Each structure stands twice: as C-alpha cells, then as structure tokens.
Amino acid sequence: MSVLREMLENLLSRPITIMYPKEKLPIPEAFRGRVAITDDKCIGCSKCSLVCPAQVISMTDGPREVEFRGKNLARKKRPQVKLFKCIRCGLCERHCPTGAIHLEHVHAGSGTDREVVVT
C-alpha cells in the first residue's frame, strides 16, 4: 500500500519543517515587505496617497529641495505611512513616478520604536 510505504520512508528521514529562526527560507526578489521611502527621490506629488486602497498614506510637512527632470524644485510635503495598517498591495510602488516609495525585501518586523510603526 502506497500510504504505508510512504509512512515508513518518512519515519526514517528528516522532517521537512524549517526550524525558524535557526533556519530560514530565502525571500524571493518580488516579495512585498515593509514600505520604505527614499526622501531624495520623492517629489511630493501625493499620488501614493491617492491610490492607496487602505488610505494609510498621509502627506505631512517635509520641506526640502529635490531634483526632478533636470529642475530643482522646492517641495513641501512628504508621505507618511502607517505601517501596521498597510496591506502591502504595492499600488504606491506601482504608481510612484520616481520610484521613491517602494516595498522592501524584508518581512515587516515588530518593534516598540516609533520608526517601526510609522515611516
């Protein structure tokens, strides 16, 4: 019987459980992890805030100068993401014109510092 044979083979071999955190599986390239914002690239267009389905991106004060298409612009706002409410759909990354907001290649961690919760 195929079930019995497979049972015996399994009994005599290693289990396939990955013993996290001692062993970890590699995270694929396309993995949608935590949201991160690169401040120098962001031009403050608010597109991420407009397309976010869960409405977790709000534009807050962040005056700076950025270079966009050869011009130096003065920008007033930067996006702020509530990381714990983010559903990691990646629409912000898809619609950002400069690639400033992107989803990192890491599992989102827990933490007590404010940087973990809001970026």
Partner 1 sequence: MTDPVFILLYIFLFPGFFFLIAYALVLAYLDRKIAARMQQRVGPPFYQPFADLLKMLGKEVINPDGVDWRVFDAIPLVALAAVMTAYLYVPIIGYSPFAFPGDLVVVLYLMALPTIALFLLGWLSRNIFSAIGGIRAVTQLFIYEVPFFLALLTPAIMAGSWSISEIVVWQQHNLWIVFFQPIGFIVALIGLQAKLERTPFDIPEAETEIVAGPWTELTGRRLAVMDLTLDISLVVGSALVAALFLGGPLVPWTLSPPWLNSIAGFLLFLAKTLSVLLILSSIKVATGRIRIDQLNDIGWKYIASAAVVQVGIVLVINYLWVTP
Partner 2 sequence: MPEVVVSIGPQHPALKEPVNFKVIADGEKIVRLELDLSYNHRGIEKAAEQRDFIRVIPLLERVCGICSHSHATVFSKGIEEIMGLEIPPRAQYIRTIIAELERMHSHLLWLGVAAHVIGFNTLFMWTWRDREAVQDTLEEMSGNRVHYGMNEIGGVRRDLTPAQVEAALSRLPALEERIRKYVEMVNSEETMLIRFRGVGTMSREEALKYGAVGPTARASGVDYDVRRDDPYLAYAEVPWNVITDTRGDVYGRTRVRIGELWESTQIVRSCLENIPAGPIRVDTPKKAPKGEILSRYEAPRGELAHFIRTNGTDRVERVDIRTPTLANWTSVAVCLVNQNIADIPVIVAAIDPCLSCTSRLTVVNREGSPVVAVNRVLPVKRDPDSGEDKERR
Say if residues 73 and 105 touch (Cβ distance below 8 Å): no
Distance CA 39, CA 1 (A): 63
Name which of 16 and 19 has its Cβ closer to partner 2.
Answer: 16
**Min CB(70)–partner 2 separation in Å:** 25
Site string for partner 2, 65-104 (x = CB under 8 A): ----------------------xxxxx--xx-------x-
Say if residues 73 and 66 touch (Cβ distance below 8 Å): yes
Chain residues that interact with partner 2, rule: CB under 8 A: 1-3, 6-7, 16, 28-32, 51-54, 87-91, 94-95, 103
